[in-house]
Amino acid sequence: MKPLFRIFELSKNEQRVVLIVMFVLITVVFVGYERRLHSVHLRPPAPPEAKTTPSPVQTEGAQ
């Protein structure tokens, strides 16, 4: 089992590369999330059209 875990024994340079790649991936995901979160607020939904129903006074006057 010990030879299987030797894959995780990294040199200092390899450790730096892994850390940099992880940092870049986390940053990309965070920026994508923030863009998606803020893009919803930039485009508010259009207000629904208000349809007025005739009041009883209007219907009596029209007849």
What is the pLDDT, as a whole number, of residue 59?
58
What is the pLDDT, as a whole number, of residue 25?
97
Query: How far apart are the C-alpha atoms of 32 and 29, rounded to whole Å?
Result: 5
Summarize pLDDT for 19-63 with one digit per residue, the tens. Answer: 999 999 999 999 999 988 877 555 555 677 767 766 666 555 555
Summarize pLDDT for 4-21 with one digit per residue, the tens. Answer: 778 789 999 999 999 999
What is the pLDDT, as a whole number, of residue 33?
92
Query: How far apart are the C-alpha atoms of 27 and 35, rounded to whole Å?
Result: 12
What is the pLDDT, as a whole number, of residue 7?
78
What is the pLDDT, as a whole number, of residue 32?
93
Distances (CA, A) of 49 to 45, 52, 58, 59: 12, 9, 21, 22
